[in-house]
Structure formats: C-alpha cells, structure tokens
Chain A
Amino acid sequence: GQQLNQSPQSMFIQEGEDVSMNCTSSSIFNTWLWYKQEPGEGPVLLIALYKAGELTSNGRLTAQFGITRKDSFLNISASIPSDVGIYFCAGGGTSYGKLTFGQGTILTVHP
C-alpha cells in the first residue's frame, strides 16, 4: 500500500532557528496536507496543497507540493516555543476519501 516517509523523526532546536521537514513517497498524491498535533489534542490543519509545484505560506510556515507529486516539505522560520509538537504530513486524493499519514516529526524548541 501507499506509504509516506517523513523526516526527520525528531528535531531539537533553539528558539529563533529555522526548521525544515519533508515527506517522500513512492506513489503520487493529488493533495498534500500538513498537520500539527499537541499532546492530548487532535491534529490541527496547518497548510493544504492541491497542485504540483504549489508553494503556500501561512505566517511563519511555508510548504511546497513537489513537482513529481511524490514529495512535500514544510519550513518553519524563526521558531518559537509554542511551535513544539508533532508535525504530520498527509497525502490524499488517490484512494477515495483516505489520507495516508507520515510517521510524524517531533519538534522541541529550547528557549
């Protein structure tokens, strides 16, 4: 079945640093989504990408839909302590109604 490889698995950074994480797949997707999950809560949608090559920003967050449709990255600029959480990528649009999730990137930001 479809699988997403998300990296890195975890990151420990200092406040103010930039962060980059990515997802790759052997299959193509028509949609890429990025979610953030904090302890005890459900995932919250950060950015949705619908077109190959699309680059979208949401505040300090920027994500791109890879031109091959098999990858996506998320960048966070000037990290702050509240950026702490688990970030998930998700690919969709090829299996009716189903999203395939990456394993998550655990982000820790030291003040």
Chain B
Amino acid sequence: EAGVTQSPTHLIKTRGQQATLRCSPISGHTSVYWYQQALGLGLQFLLWYDEGEERNRGNFPPRFSGRQFPNYSSELNVNALELEDSALYLCASSFPGYSGNTIYFGEGSWLTVV
C-alpha cells in the first residue's frame, strides 16, 4: 500500500514568487495535515484539511494557504515567498479526523527561497 506521497521533492524559488506543493494521502485517509520543518525549529503545524474543508490552522500568516480536493489530495500554496520560508514541508494523513488521530507523514518537499 502506498504511503503519503508529496511532490515536488525539491523546489527553488525566488523571493516574492509563489510556491505550490502537492500531497496525496494514504488510501482511505480523508484528513490531510501540513507541517513546516525549518532548520533548528522542529515541526510546526500549518494546516489541517478534512472532507475538503480547512478545519484548523497554525500560527502562520495568510499567505500560507491550501485546499483539499474531492479525491482528498491536497495542495499547499505559499505566496509572496520570503527567505525564511525555506524549509522542509511535510504532509501527513489520517483516517477521518478528530482530536488524537495518529498521522503518517510523507517524505516532504524541500523549498528553498533565494
């Protein structure tokens, strides 16, 4: 069974541009989560989508946004990129979401902003 898949693996953008990252959850999972892992800062919760709706959001500015499609895959968009947005962006998925679900991560997308 395929795990969580993310694309692209690596992305290089310049400051001010927009980045789009994609995620396909494990089959049967309807909840998708996005985390940012910047060097030295650990994993920070970004967004949670379930059944196509944004259910919770971490402490990030509005230029971090996303959506979930009817097939439960998800997209993370980062607008007006800043140098400090350089990080590993991790997508995770779980069965229908409620507090305390066990989540499974993909391998991540490395975003470098120059």
Contacts and interface: CB of A to CB of B under 8 A. Distances in A.
Contacts of B45: 98-100
B100 A92 contact: yes
Interface stretch (B64-72, B75-83, B103-111): B103-111
Interface residues of A, number: 28
Interface of B: 4, 31, 33, 42-45, 48, 50, 55-56, 58-59, 90, 92, 97-108
B105 A96 contact: no
A103 B42 contact: yes
A96 B56 contact: yes
Interface stretch (A10-18, A30-38, A53-61, A76-84): A30-38
B101 A41 contact: no
A107 interface: no
